[in-house]
Every structure is written in structure tokens, then in C-alpha cells.
Amino acid sequence: MALIVQKYGGSSMADAERIRNVARRVTKARQTGNRVVVVVSAMGGTTDELIRLAHEICEQPESRELDVLLSTGEVVSSTLLAMALRSLGHKAISLSGAQAGIQTDATHSRARIRNVDPKRICEELDRDNIVIVAGFQGITDELDITTLGRGGSDTTAVAVAASLGAERCEIYTDVQGVYSADPRLVPEACQLEEIGYEEMLELATYGAKVMHPRAVELGELYNIPILVASSFSDRPGTTIRGGISMEVRNKVRTIVHDLDVAKITIVGVPDQPGIASAIFQPLAKASISVDTIVQNASIDNITDLTFTVAESDLTRAMSLVEPVAQSIGARECVSDANLGKISIIGTGMQNTPGFAARMFQALYEAGINIQLITTSEIRITCIIEETRIKDAVRALHKAFELDKGKR
């Protein structure tokens, strides 16, 4: 009898009717002979409502208390799903993160899972229960409740699957799966049947909102196949797994883009040790994520340093960077909020020449100017004007022949 872990997100659990729908889907998995563990997010909107409540009480809610508060959202949805399953005649039980043995460090609001002790889950499975686990939360050695931050419930699901040696982890969400490009921009975009962990990691990091990179990383680490599919349809979805066949290697698999990009350039930076650290330390302390960093070769010991941040962080980032720039004797700081990021992703790219050239050529032919370029082993990213992103995605989708269904 196979063991599978399913995860349902907030929009799949938004109200009683949808929860009953999820119960029917879980039932189907159970009836095909599987043992089933279900990880749930809070009902859509609940977490925001709880945060609003906390901010009504005080401006800066303390993170331990906020974690306890937010954790109730997933407890509520887990009990409701258990009730719905029972009313369909199934044995089901809900467990909080603590009861499910999700042990974390004590970093409130973005705790990391240290270990999953699946004892209670196993006991309940042995009692023939469908086990519903409240996602997004865990417990410290001190028995204090933590939350896992962004992508938390996905991470819970993959961690539970790993600890149980599950056959696979199924992430049900409001998208159909992973596409060769955003289907809203490219109608010809194809859904991928499968994708490797590394590719999915780049995809998740470089703009696709399908899944959080943390959960993908964990899946790779424990080699758990992850199915991403819609909870609103019966279409097949995309499987993320290792050992993708040779045929699909060495080619571009997806185009991914991100509009939430702003650029800061510090002009005329003296090229000496410690400068980068002086600039980026304050940003890290303020939890501002710095993405692409480019430093030009210096001329006369003077260089320019450019990096990107999320558009929403730009004002804060500038207020931190400007005094530093002044103190290290840089000439000036300039910023541009109207940028976007476009990436091509595919394993083996580094080993196969010509991908970058083809990308640049396609953008050139579309009349799109490239401002910054970064690469990884399986990804090439260009920063361009935000207004040209749509054209760029279409041009690259065509150039790499992704709309022909050759996956």
C-alpha cells in the first residue's frame, strides 16, 4: 500500500464548499488504496486577517506571539477538513505541527525544520486514519510554536513526505503545473510533464510562483518526487523529480520572468577590499534580499557596482545605501524601478554552447536592450525594461521552439 502526502493551499481551502471539494479529492486518493497524509494551509485570507488583528493591537507584534497567533489558521483548516472527511464516512484526524512532530529551530516567523518525528502520524495511519497535518508550523525544543515563513506549508509537506519515506508528495494549488512560459503572456505555452529539481529551483527563485524554493530543495535532498497540480481540475500536473531523461537535457525548458525588479547603481566606487561588505551588510540586516550583483572591471581603481532588489524594497534600500556610498567616497547612487527580469532555464546549458548567443540575438531582433546579465549552470538571466517583458517572453519562447510541444 503506497503512502502519499498531499498538500492543499489557502485558495483550495477558502470556504466550506472548497474544503468539501478537497475532502472528495483526498477520498479518491484513499480509495485507490493509498495511505494518505494531508498537509493544509490556512483558509485563504485567514492569515492576513490575523495579521491585521495583531496590528490593531500594536504596531510591531512580537514574533513569538505572532507565530502562535498565525499558527491557529492552519489548525482551524485542518480540523475542518478532518470533519469533512468524517462526514464522508472516512476515519480522519487532524494534528497540529507540534503533534505531527515538526521540530524546528527557535527563529520565530521563519523557523527551519530540524527534524520530523513521525511517531504520532504513523500511529494514526496504523489506526487507519487519514492524517491531516496543520502546515506552516512547528515546535521548538522548548515546546514553543514557530511558523516557517514563506512557502511554509509546501516545506511541511515535503518534510513529512521525506520523514515517512512517502512514494510522492502532491502539491495542489491554483495553477495547473509548470509551463514553458507564463500562459497568460504566451498562449502557446506548453505544460511540462516533468522537470528536474535544479531547474525547478531556478524557476522558483527566478519568478515562477508555483512553489517555494525551500520545498524544492528539500525534495531534492531526500529525493521525493513532487507533483504540482490544480485542486480545481483533474488535469495531470507537473512532476518535479531527479533523473530526468537524457532527451530533455541540454535544452531550454522554460522561460520565466519577474516584474518586481529594481536596480541600484553606485557610481564611482573605489575598488578596495571591504567595500562590498560595507554596502551589503546593512541591507542584509534589514532583511532586504539582494538579487543580481554586477561589478564592472575597475578602471583606475574606480568601478561601478550594480545590484537588483525587489521593487517594494527600493525606497528602504536606497535610504540604507546612500549614506554608505557617501562614506566610502562613491560618486553617486542611481536607481531604476521600472525593470524586469527574464531567464531561460535548462539543465546542461553550461556545457552546450550557443544558448546565450541565441538568447541575446532573439532579444536584439525584438529591439530589446539588455541592461544586466547573470548566469548559473542552468540559467541565463537578462535585466530589461519592464515594459518589454511580454515581448521578450514571446520572442524567447519562439526562439527556443518551446511552443511546439517538444518537452
User: Would you tell me which residues interact with a second copy (CB under 8 A)?
Assistant: 15-16, 19-20, 50, 53-54, 56-62, 64-66, 68-69, 71-72, 75-76, 78-80, 82-84, 86-87, 93-94, 96, 99, 120, 143-145
Least distance in Å: CB of 102 to a second copy? 14
Least distance in Å: CB of 334 to a second copy? 39
- Of 28 and 55, nearer to a second copy (C-beta) is 55
- Of 145 and 216, nearer to a second copy (C-beta) is 145
Query: What are the φ/ψ torsions at residue 172 (nearest 5 degrees)?
Result: -100, 130
- DSSP of 333-401, one letter per residue? EEEEEEEEEEEEE-TTGGGSTTHHHHHHHHHHHTT----EEEEETTEEEEEEEGGGHHHHHHHHHHHTT
Least distance in Å: CB of 23 to a second copy? 9
Residue 154, helix vs strand vs coil: helix
- Of 127 and 184, nearer to a second copy (C-beta) is 127
- Of 2 and 53, nearer to a second copy (C-beta) is 53
Contact 378, 346 (CB under 8 A): yes
Least distance in Å: CB of 59 to a second copy? 7
Would strands 113-116 and 102-104 be described as parallel, antiparallel, or unpaired? antiparallel
- Of 15 and 377, nearer to a second copy (C-beta) is 15
| 299 grid coordinates | 578602471
- Of 13 and 166, nearer to a second copy (C-beta) is 13
Least distance in Å: CB of 15 to a second copy? 8
Least distance in Å: CB of 133 to a second copy? 12
Least distance in Å: CB of 72 to a second copy? 4
Rg over CA atoms, the chain:
23
Least distance in Å: CB of 313 to a second copy? 26
| 354 grid coordinates | 550557443
Distance from C-alpha of 308 to C-alpha of 79, rounded to nearest angstrom? 42
Distance from C-alpha of 359 to C-alpha of 311, rounded to nearest angstrom? 25
Distance from C-alpha of 356 to C-alpha of 152, rounded to nearest angstrom? 35
Distance from C-alpha of 190 to C-alpha of 192, rounded to nearest angstrom? 6
- Of 108 and 168, nearer to a second copy (C-beta) is 108
Least distance in Å: CB of 18 to a second copy? 11
- Of 80 and 279, nearer to a second copy (C-beta) is 80
**The one-letter amino acid at 13:** M
Least distance in Å: CB of 79 to a second copy? 4
One-letter-per-residue 3-state SS of 46-74: HHHHHHHHHHHHCCCCCHHHHHHHHHHHH
- Of 53 and 276, nearer to a second copy (C-beta) is 53
Distance from C-alpha of 253 to C-alpha of 265, rounded to nearest angstrom? 32
Contact 74, 157 (CB under 8 A): no
Strand order across the 238-240 sheet: 92-95, 130-134, 35-40, 3-8, 168-173, 226-230, 238-240, 194-195
- Of 50 and 122, nearer to a second copy (C-beta) is 50
Would strands 168-173 and 226-230 be described as parallel, antiparallel, or unpaired? parallel
